[in-house]
Amino acid sequence: MMNIRSLFLIDRAVASRLFFAGLLAVVASGALCADVRVGFTQDALTLDPANHRKRETETVIRNLYDGVMTQTSKSQTVPEIAESVRQIDPVTYEVKLRKGVKFHSGDEMTADDVKFTYDRLTKDKAMGGQTSPRQSLVGPLVSTDVVDRYTVRFKLKEPWPVFERMLPAQQVVSRKFVEKVGNDGMALVCRAATEQLGKLSEDEQAAIIDLLPDELQATAARIAKRRKDHPNEPAGATIQATLVESWNNGLRDVVQAELRNAVTEVAKKPGERAAK
């Protein structure tokens, strides 16, 4: 579910300069390059724009989704999916949206999608019982109201001069898509790990539990309790169920990352595995 207007929004001005500088160097040297690779210190922990607080994750997500506003290379905040943003009074901002912006599903982005996006961010337990970890990033925003199909109004509890400057950090999602796949479905990275998990044997799945670090005490306790309460449950099912239970606590991102690492390690041939 990627917005078709999202053409590499990540730090676009800086990235563009680096890209074209590199391109000129390649042309000057007469060499040809088939691929351009960008390295990150870690993988995205989720693909849900409302469910993380990691800079690396946000950088990846900004290549998939657009925000109401974006930021230029000169640190100017300018409209992105918005056509214009107008401050009506100290606590009210009105946004006129661009018409014809579509998600990859072909559905047109409307004011209803913007309201849905910001309600997930601001309302307590709006994400299947979980409150967005990015809630504080929208400050005193108390409501997002639909005026018409292409107009929304943001209402703040009190004046917040940096409100427009914070809009580029939040990406708009399709309400229809999120309601279809659910909050868990938005975290596609974790789904990839659990799909790989299902390809492992029962012994290999059980080995993953031993590979999870001891510092994940809350998760380890949940795994131990579930193993005791469900002694005949396959280890893979226990891990996946525990992940769901961990969805609503601060270890969510860490658990996903450690699961991926453990799955990758166990999937290696016995002789290739690193000693714990």
Closest CA to 74 of 160, 11, 163, 9: 11
Given a cut of 50, whether residue 204 has pLDDT beyond it is: yes
> For the purposes of burial, counting CB atoms within 10 Å of the CB of 174, is it exposed (0-12), middle (13-18) or buried (19 or more)?
buried
CA distance 6 to 225: 44
CA distance 164 to 81: 14
| Residue 129 φ then ψ, to 5° | 95, -5
pLDDT band at 197 (very low <50, low <70, confident <90, very high): low
CA distance 199 to 181: 23
* CA distances in angstroms from 59 to 8, 17, 39, 79, 189, listed in the order given: 10, 17, 12, 19, 15
Q: What is the pLDDT of residue 14?
A: 45
pTM over 0.85: no
pLDDT band at 6 (very low <50, low <70, confident <90, very high): very low
- Among 123-127, 139-143, 174-178, the range with the most confident prediction by mean pLDDT is 139-143
- 156 with 91: CB under 8 angstroms? yes
Mean pLDDT of the chain: 74
pLDDT tens, residue by residue, 209-245? 565 555 454 565 666 677 778 777 666 556 655 655 5
Lowest mean pLDDT among 13-17, 150-154, 266-270: 13-17
Task: Take residue 1 and report the two structure tokens written for it.
Answer: 């579910």
pLDDT band at 116 (very low <50, low <70, confident <90, very high): very high
- Residue 167 DSSP one-character state: G
Given a cut of 60, whether residue 89 has pLDDT beyond it is: yes
- 139 with 163: CB under 8 angstroms? yes
Lowest mean pLDDT among 142-156, 183-197, 244-258: 244-258
Q: What percent of the chain has pLDDT over 70?
A: 55
Q: What is the pLDDT of residue 52?
A: 86
Q: What is the pLDDT of residue 268?
A: 63
Q: What is the SS3 assignment for 181?
A: helix
Strand partners, 145: 153
CA distance 43 to 266: 19
Given a cut of 80, whether residue 4 has pLDDT beyond it is: no
What would the mean pLDDT of 104-128 be, rounded to a whole number?
Answer: 93
| Residue 26 φ then ψ, to 5° | -65, -45
H helix and E strand count, the chain: 10, 6
